[in-house]
Amino acid sequence: MIDAMPPPIRTLLLDIDGTVLDTREFVLAAFEHAFAHHDLACPGRDELSLRVGQPLEAIYEAYCGELVAAFVESHRSFQERNMHLSAAFPGAIETLAGLQERGIALAAVTSRSRRTSVESLEAAGVSRFFSAVVSAEDVPTLKPDPAPLRKALELLGRDIEGAAMAGDTAADVVAGKALGMWTVAALYGFHGREVLASGPDAAIEAIAELPAALGLAPYWTKNSRSLGPSSGSGPDE
């Protein structure tokens, strides 16, 4: 779904969880483990899913007050031990390879800790496509503040012109819009269609639709089938 054509895209920043990687179990099971470990009733998965994208400390602060640090450590330790719960979305490798072949500089921008962010990309086989990874420890403020996006552009040696941001939460879209970037909402992620309320420039139902949302024609990668607009039904425009 795209209402207008973007400017020529040279740089693409992507959220990790719910955009590049299917981390639903990786994230939600970590919440469930942390609450169980500290003998506190865990909120439902739907409620937690809509909180994904916020800083982890802020999420736990809403539920456990002064025990935030202990909950966060339980959460991150669980993820370090359960990397197998994270995997690339179908079509992610082919899509990223195609974008890279087109000369688009790619960076991953996440609010997740570097304790697991880089390793999860490596385990999923997609780390080779990213010239930079910005994690929670790399910046003083997290999305929706645009600071992580600025950091990614700095690491890539690129400016705002021709840059786009893709993610599955309002925090991703708001951060991108704050810098005047073309923004793409991933409707298949944690927030589903709720992210549309943040006003993205385009939306996709699968990562294979990303090239079309960036204004790129369908194309062939060296080792994959054609990428671009999905042949299936998409959201109403």
Choice between 144 and 1, residue whose per-residue pLDDT is larger: 144
> What mean pLDDT comes out for the span 179-208?
97
Q: How high is the pLDDT of residue 229?
A: 37
Percent of the chain with pLDDT over 90: 86
**Across residues 109-114, what is the average pLDDT?**
97
CATH for 24-85 is: 1.10.150
Q: Residue 121: is its pLDDT beyond 70? A: yes
Task: Give the pLDDT score at 65.
Answer: 86
Q: Would you state the pLDDT for residue 2?
A: 58
Q: What is the pTM of this model?
A: 0.89
Range from 10-14, 65-69, 118-122, 124-128 carrying the lowest mean pLDDT: 65-69
Q: Give the three-state DSSP class for 78.
A: helix
Per domain, the residue ranges of the chain are 11-22+86-213, 24-85
Q: Are 20 and 122 in contact (CB under 8 A)?
A: no
Residue 224 has what pLDDT?
35
Task: Examine the pLDDT at 34 and tell me if it is beyond 80.
Answer: yes
pLDDT of 217: 64
Start-to-end CA distance of the chain, whole Å, equals 6
pLDDT reported for residue 133: 98
In the predicted model, is pLDDT for residue 208 greater than 80? yes
Angle formed by the axes of helices 56-64 and 68-81, to 10°? 130
Mean residue pLDDT across the chain: 91
Beta-ladder partners of 123: none
What confidence score (pLDDT) does residue 5 get? 79
Q: What is the mean pLDDT of residues 83-105?
A: 97
- Topology (CATH) of 11-22+86-213: Rossmann fold (3.40.50)
Mean pLDDT on 106-115? 97
**pLDDT at residue number 111:** 96
**DSSP string across 98-133:** HHHHTT-EEEEE-SS-TTTHHHHHHHTT-GGG-SEE
Answer whether residue 40 shows pLDDT above 80.
yes
Q: How high is the pLDDT of residue 233?
A: 33
